[in-house]
Amino acid sequence: MFERALSRFSSLAMAITMLAMTSQSLLAQSGPAATEFMLDNGMQVVVVSDHRAPVVTHMVWYRVGAADEPPGVSGIAHFLEHLMFKSTEKIGTGEFSKIISRLGGQDNAFTGNDVTAYFQRISKDRLKTVMEMEADRMVNLRLEEKEVLTERQVILEERRSRIENSPSAILDEQMNAALYMSHPYGIPVIGWEHEMAKLSPADAMAFYKRFYAPNNAILVVTGDVTADEVKALAEQTYGKIPSNKQVTWLPRAQEPPHRAARRVELRDARAGKTSVHRLYLAPSYRTASEGEAEALDLLLKITAQGATSRLYKKLVMENKVASNAGGWYSGAARDSGKISLYAVASDGVDIGKVEQGIDSVLDEIRAGGVTEAELERAKKSYLAEYIYESDNQASLARRYGWSLTVGRTLKDVEQWPARIAKVTLDDVKTVAAKYLDIRHSVTGTLIPIAPEPAPKAEGSPQRTPSRG
């Protein structure tokens, strides 16, 4: 406990010291460097060493996600992620996570539009066992119809709890569908319910055989290991799997020009407060012109993140038309990114005033840009976050894995702080004018309404209200 506290204190002290330096001095020390190599079967491997504790984080990333699903089987990428925890010829049904737990480790997985990842945090001496298990289920997954149908009910229930029971999640889903007129990013990662209900063992196995192979995977190991140690273990485990020349991707539909703003309104008795939301189509880090994505990150930090942001100060603190407001830029995608903004109306405030408040802030930034003080504060905040994340194995594994899986490089990842430092006031103003274009947006409103009265039971007597 003391060693962990001391390590955290040292990291904090280092970050504070670094932030007092010039940007160039800071950038030279902003995080550990990774080692990269390729197995003969095409599997990419990345190792980031951190020898402070005898623990490692092991992640396998597949270059496939919900945006790669064939038409009509939305949710199959996420469904297969669940099914990967079932059984192989060597591992019994439901035993994978139990074995990891008995080894003293933790494991989980997640699916995105472009990626599917499986990870374990384990002691160094158990790494080979984990790699053997992950390599086994990469090619030897066994699906029994009863297990598949049972798990299908699990993902349907997950959708009901995460989406159907949340008005804000429903609105977000509908806004995404409106934002992407052609691209599959408009389809929810979890899937549309009517298509999820029909997913079959054959659908899952076809997707598995098409995309799960070493030449479509990236292994990232962070922690108390060296590149040589990981290479030896990877060759003994993953290296035995032949590459799959049948790995293929359907070409993704591309977005047509966006020429008109779109609106979505959701009225729901379960909504807590009235709120307004806005999405803008924007490039991702992979597709943006040089410096644009970094400028967008800083623009949204200044505009919408935290109590010092333009949006929060204007709508919440000064005009008091909103009780909360914020936003972010999402750029970690293969094809395109988006800008997200929101504001929750104060009690009794018309939603139109809240939307006008958002537009007013954006108009000011498009016309006049941001200040030098705002830009420097945003840069320091992001660089501090980068340093803190570099102190965490799991964050490092995710940082490298996600970026490489969507088509970026080690150089892209490790030079990010330097590119952030180079962003100028003109860069921020340029991307604001270019991408905060209402024609490329979807505005959504979430409006609470009175619940419908419960239906009366047939034959029940009409009650007369008592009088005082």
Contact predicate 138/213, CB 8 Å: yes
With pLDDT > 90 as the criterion, what percentage of the chain qualifies? 87
Q: What is the mean pLDDT of the chain?
A: 91
Q: How does strand 116-123 pair with strand 322-330?
A: unpaired
Q: How does strand 87-88 pair with strand 55-62?
A: unpaired
Q: Report pLDDT for 33.
A: 86
Phi-psi region of 427 (alpha: psi -120 to 50; beta: other; left: phi over 0): alpha
Residue 415's pLDDT band (cuts 50, 70, 90): very high
Q: Report pLDDT for 29.
A: 46
Active-site positions read 81
Is residue 461 over pLDDT 80? no
More confident site: 251 or 428: 428
For 311-379, the DSSP string reads HHIIIIIIS--EEEEEEEEE--SSSEEEEEEEEEEPTT--HHHHHHHHHHHHHHHHHH---HHHHHHHH
For residue 82, count CB atoms less than 10 angstroms from its CB and return exposed for 0-12, middle for 13-18, buried for 19 or more: middle
Which residues face 443 on adjacent strands?
Answer: 263, 278
For 101-156, how does the pLDDT look when each residue is reduced to its tens digit (9 = 90+)? 999 999 999 999 999 999 999 999 999 999 999 999 999 999 999 999 999 999 99
Could you tell me the fold of the domain covering 34-240? Cytochrome Bc1 Complex; Chain A, domain 1 (3.30.830)
Residues 334, 184: Cα–Cα separation, whole Å: 12
Which residues face 48 on adjacent strands?
Answer: 222
Helix (H, G, I), strand (E, B), or coil: what is residue 115? coil
CATH code for the part of the protein at 262-448: 3.30.830.10
Residues 58, 48: Cα–Cα separation, whole Å: 11
Is residue 31 over pLDDT 80? no
First-last CA distance in the chain: 65
Residue 42's pLDDT band (cuts 50, 70, 90): very high
Region 297-314 average pLDDT: 98
- The residue length of the chain stands at 468
Residues 432, 139: Cα–Cα separation, whole Å: 47
Sign of the CA dihedral 358, 359, 362, 368?
Answer: negative
φ/ψ of residue 158, rounded to 5: -60, -40
Is residue 250 over pLDDT 80? no
The answer to which of 15-24, 207-216, 302-311, 334-343 has the lowest mean pLDDT is 15-24
Helices (H), 107-198: 127-139, 145-159, 167-179, 193-196
Residues 419, 295: Cα–Cα separation, whole Å: 9
From the CA atom positions of the chain, what is the Rg in Å?
25
Structure tokens given for 51: 């020898």
List all residues 6 or more positions away from 429 whose beta carbon is below 8 Å from its beta carbon: 365, 366, 368, 369, 370
Q: Report pLDDT for 336.
A: 96
Which residues face 223 on adjacent strands?
Answer: 49, 56
Name the DSSP class of 462.
Answer: P
Region 300-315 average pLDDT: 98
Token pair 């505005």 in the structure block, residue: 443
E-assigned strands of 179-307? 217-223, 262-268, 275-283
Q: How does strand 141-142 pair with strand 87-88?
A: antiparallel
State the Cα torsion 248-249-251-254 to the nearest 10°. -160
Instruction: Give ∠ CA 87-90-94 in degrees, rounded to 5.
Output: 30
Q: Report pLDDT for 251.
A: 83
Q: What ranges do the domains of the chain cover? A: 34-240, 262-448
For 164-212, how does the pLDDT look when each residue is reduced to its tens digit (9 = 90+)? 999 999 999 999 999 999 999 999 999 999 999 999 999 999 999 999 9
Structure tokens given for 173: 């889903």
Residue 459's pLDDT band (cuts 50, 70, 90): low
Domains 34-240 and 262-448 share a fold: yes
Region 209-232 average pLDDT: 97
For residue 229, count CB atoms less than 10 angstroms from its CB and return exposed for 0-12, middle for 13-18, buried for 19 or more: middle
Name the DSSP class of 70.
Answer: P
Is residue 277 over pLDDT 80? yes
Query: Which residue, 395, 405, 332, is CA-closest to 62?
Result: 405
Region 56-67 average pLDDT: 98
Is residue 243 over pLDDT 70? yes
Structure tokens given for 9: 């204190």
Q: Report pLDDT for 18.
A: 42
Is residue 230 over pLDDT 80? yes
The answer to which of 4-8, 62-66, 150-154, 246-250 has the lowest mean pLDDT is 4-8
